Chain A
């Protein structure tokens, strides 16, 4: 895929983020964030904890409300519209649910439904939201589980699966909705180190297939190898962004330099 000077792909924007600000009470956690995620782009968001990267991701599918700015998914405004009098009004729950269905989300803590088998976790959304007949949804779910390497775990309850397996079921659950874009919220942070690779492999495969992805992560090696663009956030703002090679080898801002330095040092006695 070709990229321009700023590292963005030459493709239409799937997710448009315009001047998004969010407050938790008095505290401003997002300060006028603007960026586009192009169709087929894998955008990785890095930054210190408390920088607002997870909050931004959760605003995209409105798991968090935001007070200013707008987010558009495929051109459609997420969460809020402006009424005739110019006031910002929240869209109906049904509309918001319909738009959320177009975005897949994978969480740090998996959040699989513990009372449903892996297969039924994956098939629930298509049956209940998209109206796919149960038999057909089950076949699709089985195919998706096979795609993430879990064909033999279809009948297992989540509690019987390892963290890496649970996270791959969660990715299959999100893919089952045939989303326009996928959101990944520190999806390897709760995993044992030896299980991280199996999840990153699935994500790498999605990048290659041209899935639009927003990935919040601390896996710098993954970002460097597979991201089309890296955004560095600190204190609720985008401080620096660009192609991974540029961002990691030639950081311009003091804060990114300091952040990367701490990462390279790792744990030292």
Chain B
């Protein structure tokens, strides 16, 4: 018990890093997901093809490999970025591909009649997307969006391997000094569980708030 108590300040700092990485990556992935999904659905031939290539590449390469590429390969190309910024960028770009699928499916789930009614009123496509389709897609996207956010939070643990002091990395360091893996990794696991459980509950709350009888 003492052990965990003494480790708390370190674990807390690691947790903050994890939260910071998660929040940054979720924001980036979501923005990317909305833009890429709309380009894929309504962009011209070239834009659609570029998005497809991006999605295939990201889906086909493990997150860890992308992190290694950022951490070890970019310096050779004379690109210097802060590890934490690079971590957010890589995780955000990676999960942006999954968010694209989430947004695309939600947009496509809006019935055709909604488009027709909006067109009949005289709205143009960008306005229809903003006022009618995306407003409804948000509700449809809720559960899979929260799901992807949870994957992002857990995915951030991989940055421990490239030496970023997130809660997983800090836990590993403490275990190496204290030789108490059960207690420390138990605490680390609890941190992830609490964040993800909180996200789930937040998702459920918004789902209820956005609910309307169809």
Contact B127 A115 (CB under 8 A): no
Min CB distance B116 to A, Å, is 5
Contact B113 A128 (CB under 8 A): no
Contacts of B139 in A (CB 8 A): 115
Query: Which B109-130 residues sit within 8 Å CB-CB of chain A?
Result: 111, 113-114, 116-125, 127
Contacts of A124 in B (CB 8 A): 121, 123, 131
Query: Which A140-175 residues sit within 8 Å CB-CB of chain B?
Result: 157, 159-160, 170, 173-174
Partner of B113, one of A107, A129, A177: A107
Contact A100 B119 (CB under 8 A): yes
Contact B117 A100 (CB under 8 A): no
Query: Which A92-142 residues sit within 8 Å CB-CB of chain B?
Result: 93-94, 97-98, 100-105, 107, 109, 111-115, 124-125, 128-129
Contact A128 B131 (CB under 8 A): yes
Min CB distance B133 to A, Å, is 10
Partner of A61, one of B120, B132, B212, B214: B120
Partner of A157, one of B113, B117, B121, B213: B213
Contacts of A102 in B (CB 8 A): 122
Contacts of B136 in A (CB 8 A): 113-115
Range of interface residues on A (Cβ < 8 Å):
20 to 34
Number of interface residues of B (CB under 8 A): 22
B135 in the interface, Cβ–Cβ < 8 Å?
A: yes
Contact B123 A97 (CB under 8 A): yes
Contact A103 B113 (CB under 8 A): no
B interface SS class = helix
A63 in the interface, Cβ–Cβ < 8 Å?
A: yes
Contact A63 B121 (CB under 8 A): no
Cβ proximity bits A76-101 to B, threshold 8 Å, 1 near / 0 not = 00000000000000000110011011
Contact B117 A112 (CB under 8 A): yes
- What is the bound-complex CA distance between A100 and B117, given in angstroms? 11
Contacts of B131 in A (CB 8 A): 113, 124, 128
A101-B122, A125-B123, A129-B121 known; A109 and B114 CB under 8 Å? Answer: no
- The contact sample of 24 A-B pairs, CB cut-off 8 A, is A61-B120, A97-B123, A97-B124, A98-B122, A101-B122, A102-B122, A105-B117, A107-B120, A111-B111, A111-B116, A112-B117, A113-B136, A114-B212, A114-B213, A115-B136, A115-B139, A125-B122, A128-B127, A128-B131, A129-B123, A157-B213, A160-B213, A174-B121, A177-B122
Contacts A101-B121, A111-B113, A125-B122 supplied; 18 other A-B pairs, CB < 8 Å: A61-B120, A93-B124, A94-B124, A100-B119, A100-B121, A102-B122, A105-B120, A111-B117, A114-B136, A115-B139, A115-B212, A128-B131, A129-B123, A157-B213, A160-B213, A170-B117, A173-B121, A174-B120
